[in-house]
Chain A
């Protein structure tokens, strides 16, 4: 199905997010949509799926104008979207999830549905057990199921939002293979991503957005520097230069720590983290990294074992003690765990710094400039884009902090912002303390960390220093080989 968007405008209040986007996607192609955070990619796709209403503009499918005023009508028009977070029902089985939500042609015959599921899975070479409960599946498998569900619904236009986040390389390869097959069946695929590597590997054509406008388009094979130039105002800087410092005093130590939680738990973990280290926690999402960070931040208590912060046992201490000794923890889930919806940027500074409103306004204004947050001191945080929310969280870290724990700190950020943030974090904190971060991107970890801990199924299976790192080995360890 051919998709054409003409002069799409979207205003959120005074914010003109999309300024007249024209986009034409040929049937049977994979079309990439790239751009930095806040460029308008997600907004544009949400308009196509009827999730957001457009302020102006027209949508044509195979030359016929459609309204797509709400998700249901867009779905009837054959448009389906694979979201970054799986939109499924964890208490149900794979088959039940496959059967859910097909209002056009409900078919309660489980056997027929099962055959249909297996048939579709076979076409794209996925192997899923229909009777498996969803909470036993990896994110990648849930994504596969979601894809099958969309195919089962007969979508003609498939939109994918950052589909390779948090899935293994093997699953990624399988996904790409499936997507090519789906394209060859004549369906249209739109891939939203800021991972140029994925886009280059998969797409037939790419459109670049910047600040709500189309800045260019290109057919495969792509000229990557050219794409980068269209994405960013300035060309991205070169690699951060790392100088590893000699390891200082022990900041954090785990002694045979075992804890429950996060599906896998954490088993028998012993290690020290020293001043001057940047430690990357690698592993497929949900392999125990989040648990490790929350234990270190005294947000959770271990079942057995001992955690010490600067030599003080944390058995009876809480997160306030952790903060009092210079600790900071930034969770991945910004709006749910990190920020306070309904509060403005300025309110967050007041809350974080114990200062009055006037002082908070000054700090907020400074941070907006320094961290390039697209917002005003009075902007409520929920109206910031994901990347800008992350910048805000990072800007709230106090300068005197010494142990910085970050959960997926650059998730949803474009390459340029991520690089800028890492430069800043290194420059500000590394002499005084340590940074421990988890990331779903192995590349990022290898680029940034001095030391890598590889998590697999609740165990730390590798503890490697930068000079003994081997990409293949880490990747293999992550998948348990």
Chain B
């Protein structure tokens, strides 16, 4: 069986497990699986307007996921993506606030994206630096920094950047239209954002799989002790990998602001950082499946919004399905791995 076929077979198996598991769960609470899945599908792919909303989720989720891939290549668990998304959003809001009356909205937006990447990358650098200089494991550093980032957002919303009059959980004041990412009539998603995402996917594909940097990064991830003897500095590659990871997450945060919310809200990251971790694991740490899995997850997120209205089910069903996907994927990959090693080995 070729690798592609095997991968498709695995995917099919995972989906079957997930559908069976979710159906059982729905039956248990007395809901119709058929109806629930129907709403999930029509809610995400039912119309262009709905699908463009799916793309709005797909873009930041994909950016976070491919960012994570860089970190994983170097052997790092960048749990801090969540915080890096938040910092990216903060950077964007900061620049956009300065550029409100500048008269150059496109330049402002461009600078805002740069700021997003820079702040996201910088925030990731803190975790990387803590690891290399302080011996703090990146998982703990990332986790801690996520909470700090959350604290900063709340402080900004209720402090320096509060709405004139009254500060509220609904976030800062909405930016004027010219500082929104341009979009087309009837689209909820900006074609620019789609373009950026596709470009970054292609660039990542080349960098990770065909460039010297990608090879070196992978070597660092596989055996940091040996790469020293090949004349590479593992610390340098770890830092670069986590900075790229953070920059892409930051960009995702920037797009959340300029393309979707047009303000800073407490939940600006929408949990895409953690969801991205699931996407990457489900993709078995490979690039090619990531855009598709991210699309599937995005569709689940958007489609599930229908459930409370139509069926009095909580929209967290999408989370259950995503979690079940990852668990069954790990199970299928795990079994495959055990099988390939053969018994007794």
Min CB gap B225→A, angstroms: 5
What residues on B are CB-neighbors of A337 within 8 Å? 223, 225-226, 229
Interface residue count on the B side (C-beta < 8 Å): 20
- In contact, B212 and A354 (Cβ under 8 angstroms): yes
Q: Return A345 CB to nearest CB of chain B, in Å.
A: 14
Q: Does B215 contact A (CB under 8 A)?
A: yes
A341 in contact with B222 given A320-B231, A331-B229 (CB within 8 Å):
yes
Question: Do A319 and B228 touch (CB < 8 A)?
Answer: yes
Interface size on A, residues (CB 8 A): 29
Write out the residue numbers on chain A whose beta carbons fall within 8 Å of the beta carbon of B230.
Answer: 351-352
- Determine the chain A residues whose CB is within 8 A of the CB of B215 once the complex forms: 347, 350-351
Residues of A close to B164: CB separation below 8 A: none
Contacts of A341 in B (CB 8 A): 222-223
Q: What separation, in Å, do the CA atoms of A455 and B172 have in the docked complex?
A: 71
| Majority-rule SS of B interface residues | helix
Q: Is B344 an interface residue (CB 8 A)?
A: yes
| Cross-chain contact B219 with A340 (CB below 8 angstroms) | yes
Q: Pick the contact of B344 from A53, A299, A351 — CB < 8 Å? A: A53
B344 to A69, Cβ gap below 8 A? yes
How many inter-chain contacts with C-beta < 8 Å in the A-B complex? 59
CB closest chain-A residue, reference B220? A340
Cβ distance A88 to chain B, nearest Cβ, rounded Å: 23
Interface residues of A in 317-350 (CB under 8 A from B): 318-320, 323-324, 329-331, 336-343, 347, 350
Is A52 in contact with chain B by the CB < 8 A criterion?
yes
Which residues of chain A in 348-366 are interfacial with respect to chain B, using CB atoms and an 8 Å cutoff? Answer: 350-352, 354, 356
Check A52 against B228 for contact (C-beta < 8 Å): no
Q: Mark B194-232, 1 if CB is under 8 A from A, else 0.
A: 000000000000000000100110110011011111111
- B206 CB, nearest partner CB in chain A, Å: 13
A169 within 8 A of B: no
Residue of B nearest to A328 (CB): B229
Q: Does B2 contact A (CB under 8 A)?
A: no
Residue B165 is within 8 A (CB to CB) of chain A in the complex: no
Residues of B close to A338: CB separation below 8 A: 226, 229
Q: Is the CB of B228 within 8 A of A299?
A: yes
| Best-surrounded residue of B215, B218, B229 (most CB of chain A within 10 A) | B229
Residues of A within 8 A of B (CB): 50-53, 69-70, 299, 318-320, 323-324, 329-331, 336-343, 347, 350-352, 354, 356
A-B residue pairs, 5 tightest by C-beta: A53-B344, A340-B223, A323-B231, A340-B222, A342-B222
Would you list 19 pairs from A and B whose C-beta atoms are within 8 A, ordered by A residue? A53-B343, A53-B344, A69-B344, A70-B344, A319-B228, A330-B229, A338-B229, A339-B223, A339-B226, A340-B219, A340-B227, A343-B222, A347-B219, A351-B219, A351-B227, A351-B230, A351-B232, A352-B230, A354-B212
